[in-house]
Structure formats: structure tokens, C-alpha cells
Amino acid sequence: MPLEIVQNDITKMETDAIVNAANSALQMGGGVCGAIFRAAGAEQLQQACDEIGYCPTGKAVFTEGFRLQAKYIIHTVGPVWQGGAHEEEKLLRSCYRNSLALAISLDCKSIAFPLISSGIYGYPKEQALETAVSEIEQFLETQELLVYMVLFSR
């Protein structure tokens, strides 16, 4: 199945899962994370995240989607950009791979990603997009899933 890059608000995507660019404490943040929390219902989503407690960089966990159209929110913690010499690309690839694998285990047929780590975590947008596309395409060689890369703006 394909990978599509779209310009949209990720909270409006009609997919089985959307991915939250989370922090390791799974607390409501700014940017994409804050938008997802607000759209899903911040109090309910925070309570569900508090029950999980923690997610290490590169890993993924899930909650229900609450008020979103998506059934699930997959929370993944991207790396903070430190110049590229601290395994940032490896960790970013792991975010996509683990999120995709989790979506498959949840029997999702579609998933929407933001450009992980490219906001306040400072990952250069072009490099982040190249890494995301490469990892997603590699995953789709063996799995069937409709994947959207959702960019809020150009």
C-alpha cells in the first residue's frame, strides 16, 4: 500500500491511528502534541498517558483516540537534534518502525504521521522527511498499510 504526503491538520485525518510526537513523560506539550491532546480531549488523554507513565526515545505506545476520528493515538518519542552525531537518525528511524509495527499489531489499515522531531526538537526538516520516507517505504515492502505523512504547512 502507498505512502502519501499531504498538507493537513493531523487531528482531522480519517485514519485508524494517528501518531503523536510525544515527550518521554507523555505529558501534553506544544505543537503537534498539544494539538492532538486538545482535539482528543486533553484531560482524558492525559489520564491515559499517565497510566502508561513513560516512553523512551525511539519507542512507541498507544492510547485510544478519544474524541478523534482515529481509533488509536500512537505516541512515539523522537530524538532531540544535537548535530547528528548522537544516533539521532537511528532513533528517528526507530520511531517510525516501532509506530508502524504497533499499528499492524493493533490491526490498523491506515496511519497518519507528523514529521517527528522536526519542531521544537530541532531535527532539520529535510533530513527528517528523508529519514521518515526511507523508513516507511522499507516497512511497506513487507507490510500492507496506508501511510500518510501529514505536514501542517509547507
What are the residue boundaries of the structural domains of the chain, listed by start? 3-151
pLDDT tens digits, 67-118: 999 999 999 999 999 999 999 999 999 999 999 999 999 999 999 999 999 9
Q: What pLDDT score does 152 carry?
A: 76
pLDDT tens digits, 12-23: 999 999 999 999
Answer whether 18's CB lies under 8 Å from 27's CB: no
Band (pLDDT 50/70/90 cuts) for residue 1 is low
Band (pLDDT 50/70/90 cuts) for residue 5 is very high
Query: Considering the domain 3-151 in this protein, what is its CATH number?
Result: 3.40.220.10
Phi-psi region of 67 (alpha: psi -120 to 50; beta: other; left: phi over 0): alpha
Compute the distance between CA of residue 78 and CA of residue 57 in angstroms, rounded to an integer.
6
Q: What pLDDT score does 96 carry?
A: 98
Interior angle at CA 6, CA 31 and CA 41, nearest 5: 40
State percent of the chain over pLDDT 70: 98
